[in-house]
Structure 1
Amino acid sequence: MINVRTATMLAHYKQWVDQRLFESLASLPPDEVGKERQTLCKSIIGTLNHIYVIDCIWQAHLEHREHGYKTRLEVPHPELDDLRVAQLAMDEWFMSWSGQQTDESLNEPIEFVFVSGDRSVMTAGAMLMHVVNHASYHRGCVIQMYLEIPAKPPITDLPVFLKDAFPAYTTG
């Protein structure tokens, strides 16, 4: 079980790291973001859209509503600038949502349906943890693609975020 303090920190971390990543990606040669690569999501923009789609799906679960996605690999925003705006709005939603929670609401079990049609139950806090972990995993794939360009990827580590952007979390 996570508490409100941790949920808030994780939501802010996700927003911070997404912002850093999009700023860095904007500095790359434009064709690199859409260039097909040997990865599950085919490209940097495909991978970032996958993160966004999964965020949308879990947002819908947290809001107890249908999400409408038929696949996790949709590309609703093929242009980096459009995706950046959508992702940052999504990050704002998760930060706002986290700030409205209580320790009890984060432990609330929520029934949902996977894209595959399978039914399951998770707590709201576990859903947030999944969103953050899922994005971190796929950002690692994006960082690997930076090395193929070659370009220097941004620093996205949690300890750097805590030191630079959220020091209140480290001091109690």
Structure 2
Amino acid sequence: MRKDVLIAGFGGQGVLLAGNLLSYAAIEEGKNVSYFPAYGVEKRGGSATCTVVIADGAVGSPVVGQPSTLVVLNQASLERFGARVRPGGICIVNTSLVDVSALGRDDIKIIPVPMNEIATDLGDLRMVNMVALGAYAAVSGAVQLATLAGALKEALPERNHKYIPANVKAIETGAQIALEKTA
């Protein structure tokens, strides 16, 4: 088994935390992981991406030229990375901020998830990353949702552990919506 994902958005959307959490969950499940974060010099509003490769065997380079899955949180990221998704791959799109009509790809599966609306309905827009991660985990099967929930203690600083139940709810909701969109 080998899964790779490119998560892309802008600074402040929690892209790097999502990748880090995914990595911790994969390690908890005994898989090999490569996590490669990248971000612009700006703290908020600049580009933020990360690549996570999960495998049963050895993981080579953390750089993935054509990801099998792209999780895109904003329009600029779709425009920059949409063409790179491997044919037959998956693009999970935050339809709250992204219009996929200009992508022009019929060789990939597009899964629309209104991530901002879901996060807002759950009480905190900052949970958009958890909604996205739940959608990815459900669609890809890379890690179990319960493992993601358990890994929150590792990925979040202790002062934020009080938010774990809300984050778990966001992960579960993102997974549920993504599975409904693929049915």
Tell me which structure has the larger Cα radius of gyration.
Answer: 1
Fold agreement, TM-score > 0.5: no
Higher relative contact order (CA closer than 8 Å, sequence separation 6+): 1
Structure 2 length normalisation: TM-score?
Answer: 0.29
Which structure has the highest helix share of the two?
A: 1
Structure 1 length normalisation: TM-score?
Answer: 0.31
